Amino acid sequence: MKRRRLVLFLKIFVVIFLILLIVFDSALFTSILPYQLKKIALAFKTELTRPPQPFQSNTSRISVSLPVTTTLPPLPREAQENNLLELPQFGIKAPIWTVTSPDEKLIYQKLRQGVVLYPGSAAPGQGYTVILGHSSQYPWQPGRYKSVFSLLSQLKKGDLIYVYWEGKPLIFQVEEQKIFLPWPQGSETTETVFPPEEKPILILQSCWPVGVAYKRVAVKAVLLNF
């Protein structure tokens, strides 16, 4: 009898947890879940339409390394009015805003309108650039960009990131991604995780996991067209 009650309690707990997750963490269902379903559907379609591959023995395989080529993207309409960040893999575009000081209130106000160039970091393409964005917010919070970085952890090495800064298109390529516990809870900061380098780099950063502000996810990308 006690075991049945425990099982029933666990089932009720799971149901309530899922309901609360849907209500309070809308980014999971408006961004992450559709993206994962799209990936599965695309992989399934690719496998169905892929032509049969001729058999090759291990001794006859030849590995060919092709150079990476990039083409500057056309200037989007949105970039004619504001500096713009584009993640083409996810169909995400967000204006980049600047603030005068690292005051959290100022940063949060601008995060409602897009992503924020962290105060003190260099302009994109000119050094060490850090851009912040929300991964999730409560549904009743104002702003259109509450989950703009909810898919940040899905970026892979080699993915491209477009930045349109002062009318100039810049292409960055993802090198690596790290999840860390920030100071003061932990000992890591953005600069210790990804130290500044002589070449221009871009760091995109947000809270991780989605719906929790406990850790941070940071993606490092290097400038290609300089």
Domain boundary assignment for the chain: 2-47, 77-223
Q: Does the pLDDT value for residue 56 go beyond 70?
A: no
pLDDT band at 52 (very low <50, low <70, confident <90, very high): low
Mean pLDDT of 35-50: 53
Q: Does the pLDDT value for residue 115 go beyond 70?
A: yes
Give which of 189, 72, 38, 35 is closest to 121, Cα–Cα.
Answer: 189
Mean pLDDT of 173-202: 93
User: Which stretch of 48-62, 125-139, 143-157 has the lowest confidence by average pLDDT?
Assistant: 48-62
pLDDT band at 64 (very low <50, low <70, confident <90, very high): very low
Cα separation, 26 vs 160, whole angstroms: 27
User: Among 2.60.40.420, 2.40.260.10, 2.40.50.1070, 3.40.50.1980, what is the CATH number of 77-223?
Assistant: 2.40.260.10
The whole-model pTM stands at 0.74
pLDDT band at 60 (very low <50, low <70, confident <90, very high): very low
Residue 61 has a pLDDT of: 39
Residue 28 has a pLDDT of: 53
**Strand pairing category for 160-165 and 128-132:** unpaired
Cα separation, 67 vs 58, whole angstroms: 24
